[in-house]
Amino acid sequence: MLAGQKALVTGANSGIGRAVAINLARAGADVIVNYVAGDDAAKEVVQAIEAEGRKSLAILADVANELQVAEMFKQAVAAFGTLDILVANAGLQRDSGFVDMSLAQWNTVLNVNLTGQFLCIREAVREFLRRPIRQEVSVARGKIICMSSVHEVIPWGGHVNYATSKGGINMMMKSLAQELAPHRIRVNSIGPGAIRTPINTEAWSTPEAYASLMELVPYKRIGEPDDIGHVAVFLASDMADYINGTTIFVDGGMTCYPGFATGG
Ligand code: NAD
121-138 residue pLDDT tens: 999 999 999 999 999 999
Residue-level pLDDT at 59: 99
Closest CA relative to residue 90, chosen from 68, 71, 62? 62
Which of the following is catalytic: 162, 210, 219, 242? 162
Separation between Cα atoms, residue 101 and residue 103, nearest integer Å = 7
Residue-level pLDDT at 124: 99
How many angstroms is it from 182 CA to the middle of ligand 1?
31
Choosing from 31, 32, 92 the residue with most ligand 1 atoms within 8 A of its CB, the one to mutate for a pocket test is 92
Query: Is 154 in contact with 211 (CB distance < 8 Å)?
Result: no
CA–CA distances in Å: residue 184 to residues 80, 83, 144, 180, 250: 21, 15, 11, 7, 25
- ∠203-204-207 over CA atoms, to 5°? 115
Domains, the chain, with CATH or none: 6-198+223-258 (3.40.50.720)
Question: Digits of tens for pLDDT over the chain (264 positions)?
Answer: 999 999 999 999 999 999 999 999 999 999 999 999 999 999 999 999 999 999 999 999 999 999 999 999 999 999 999 999 999 999 999 999 999 999 999 999 999 999 999 999 999 999 999 999 999 999 999 999 999 999 999 999 999 999 999 999 999 999 999 999 999 999 999 999 999 999 999 999 999 999 999 999 999 999 999 999 999 999 999 999 999 999 999 999 999 999 889 876
Question: Under the phi-then-psi rule, with left for phi > 0, alpha for psi from -120 to 50, and beta for the rest, what region is 83?
Answer: beta
Ligand 1 pocket, residues with Cβ under 6 angstroms: 10-11, 13-17, 34-37, 62-64, 89-92, 112, 116, 147, 149, 192, 194-195, 197-200
Residue-level pLDDT at 216: 96
Active site residue 162: yes
Q: What is the DSSP letter of 62?
A: -
- Angle (deg, nearest 10), helices 116-130 and 66-80: 40
Residue-level pLDDT at 259: 87
How many angstroms is it from 34 CA to the middle of ligand 1?
12
How many angstroms is it from 93 CA to the middle of ligand 1?
8
22-55 residue pLDDT tens: 999 999 999 999 999 999 999 999 999 999 999 9
At residue 10, φ and ψ (nearest 5 deg) are -90, 150
How many angstroms is it from 117 CA to the middle of ligand 1?
12
Please report which residue ranges of 93-192 form alpha helices under DSSP H: 103-109, 116-130, 160-180
**Is 255 buried (19+), middle (13-18) or exposed (0-12) by CB count in 10 A?**
middle
